[in-house]
Amino acid sequence: MGGEKVNRVVTRMQMLNRLACRQAGVQHDGRVGVISGLAAGIDSLAQAEALRSGLQVAAVLAHGLDMVYPAQNQALLEGIVKSGGVVVSEHPLGVKPRPEYFLARNRMVVGLSQVLIVVEGRKRSGTEASANLAAEMGVEVWAVPGSELTDELIEEGVTELK
C-alpha cells in the first residue's frame, strides 16, 4: 500500500474520509488506505466502505491466515484480496483467535498506520488500548468528539477531527 496509511475506527466512513483527507492535506484520490482488524462492527464497516470508495484496504488478523474470524466477514476478506488489498497475520496457519492475540493485532495495526482515527469508544476498551499504543509508538491520533473516550482523548491533546 502506497501513500498515506490511516487506520479508521469509524462508523461514519464517507464523511470522515473526506474530513481526514482535508485534515491530512491530501486529495481524496485513493492514496489514503484503511488498515483495520477485520473485527465485527466498526472495523468491518470501515473496511467495507473503504472498498466501495476505492481506497486501499489492509486487514490484520488475530489468528492464522487459513480462517476468517468472525466468519461473517468471509466475503469482506475476499473483497479485500480481490481489490488488491492485503491480509496479514503474525500467526502460523491453524492458529485460532484467542483473547490475548487481539491486543497484539491492534499493535500491528497501529504500527502500520501513520494516523489512528478514533470515532467512538469506551474507556478500558480495545479502542483505548489502540490509542495508547499509538501514543507510545509515535503514531498521530485524531479523534471525533462525542463519546466518553474521544472526548477524553481530545482533552488530553489529540487532534480533534471535526
Rounded Cα distance between 136 and 21, Å, is: 24
What pLDDT, on the 0 to 100 scale, is given for residue 80?
96
> How many other C-beta atoms lie within 10 A of the C-beta of residue 92?
10
Rounded Cα distance between 73 and 93, Å, is: 18
Q: State residue 160 phi and psi, 5-degree precision.
A: -85, 125
- Compute the Cα dihedral for 96, 111, 52, 88 and give only its sign: negative
Number of H helices, E strands in the chain: 6, 7
> How many other C-beta atoms lie within 10 A of the C-beta of residue 47?
29
Per-residue confidence in pLDDT tens, the chain, 162 aa = 455 555 544 334 445 555 555 555 444 455 568 899 998 877 888 888 888 888 889 999 999 999 999 999 999 999 999 999 999 999 999 999 999 999 999 999 999 988 898 878 888 888 899 999 999 999 999 888 888 999 999 999 999 987
> How many other C-beta atoms lie within 10 A of the C-beta of residue 67?
16
Task: Quickly list DSSP for 117-152.
Answer: EE----TTSHHHHHHHHHHHHT-EEEE-SSSHHHHH
Please state which CATH number belongs to domain 5-160: 3.40.50.450
Task: Quickly list DSSP for 50-75.
Answer: HHHTT-EEEEEESS-TTS-SSGGGHH
| Residue 33, C-alpha cell as written in the block | 488506505
